Chains A and B, each alone.
Chain A
Amino acid sequence: EAQVTQNPRYLITVTGKKLTVTCSQNMNHEYMSWYRQDPGLGLRQIYYSMNVEVTDKGDVPEGYKVSRKEKRNFPLILESPSPNQTSLYFCASRDVSRGLTFGAGSRLTVL
């Protein structure tokens, strides 16, 4: 089944404790991206990647890092999480002829 898998689905952490949210897709898509969803603000792009070793900032990259060492994986790294990064995060990949396919989401709470 074609899918985007992200983990963990739920995470509660404390300020400053580094964490990684993993994302993997099995559709051989070149384009992958991360979004955060906050009430009333829709989805905002954090980072995207056009291919292996090619990443770029989206609209809200502050406080986040990404890497793309393999085509299928695109982890989101929060080096020093802060409470304002409490949000619902979605990873997505894209076929050039279609829109985004989203993962199930990761709800992160930073205390």
Chain B
Amino acid sequence: GENVEQHPSTLSVQEGDSAVIKCTYSDSASNYFPWYKQELGKRPQLIIDIRSNVGEKKDQRIAVTLNKTAKHFSLHITETQPEDSAVYFCAAFQGNFNKFYFGSGTKLNVKP
């Protein structure tokens, strides 16, 4: 099956700085890569996603990049704000088996 690894497990940045979270996957058949934000005590919420035929996608302060050859994808958050503090999960969707595989999460702390 697929194996998704996520780093770092915790990340602390100063407000206004950028944050980068990286994930790797193992199965080249995975074709869809969403990112979720989970605030304390809340459900995961989709913040951005990318498909395997696209290399980069941006949505305001958030961007995701995908390198299919190296099998890794990254979340970039610019101009971080305290409300960005949360746990972020990456995921890979293995289309052949209709399964989602999640990374173990990154706890982002944005210090004011």
Is the pair A42, B98 in contact by a Cβ cutoff of 8 Å? no
Is the pair A98, B49 in contact by a Cβ cutoff of 8 Å? yes
Q: How far is the CB of A96 from chain B (nearest CB, A)?
A: 10
Q: How far is the CB of A46 from chain B (nearest CB, A)?
A: 11
Contact of B99 among A40, A48, A102, A105 (CB under 8 A): A48
Contact of B102 among A42, A48, A56, A103 (CB under 8 A): A42
Is the pair B46, A100 in contact by a Cβ cutoff of 8 Å? yes
Which residues of chain B in 66-112 are interfacial with respect to chain A, using CB atoms and an 8 Å cutoff?
89, 91, 98-105
Known: A41-B104, A42-B89, A90-B43. A99 touches B98 (CB 8 A): no
* SS of B interface (majority): strand
Is the pair B43, A33 in contact by a Cβ cutoff of 8 Å? no
Is the pair A40, B104 in contact by a Cβ cutoff of 8 Å? yes
- Which chain B positions have C-beta within 8 A of A102? 43-45
Known: A43-B100, A100-B36. 6 other contacts (CB 8 A): A45-B99, A45-B100, A45-B101, A90-B44, A100-B34, A100-B44
Q: How far is the CB of A61 from chain B (nearest CB, A)?
A: 11
Q: How far is the CB of B24 from chain A (nearest CB, A)?
A: 14
B32 and chain A: residue at smallest CB distance? A99
B104 and chain A: residue at smallest CB distance? A42
Is the pair A59, B104 in contact by a Cβ cutoff of 8 Å? no
Q: What are some 10 contacts across the A-B interface (CB < 8 A)?
A: A31-B98, A42-B89, A42-B102, A43-B91, A48-B98, A59-B1, A59-B99, A99-B32, A104-B42, A104-B43
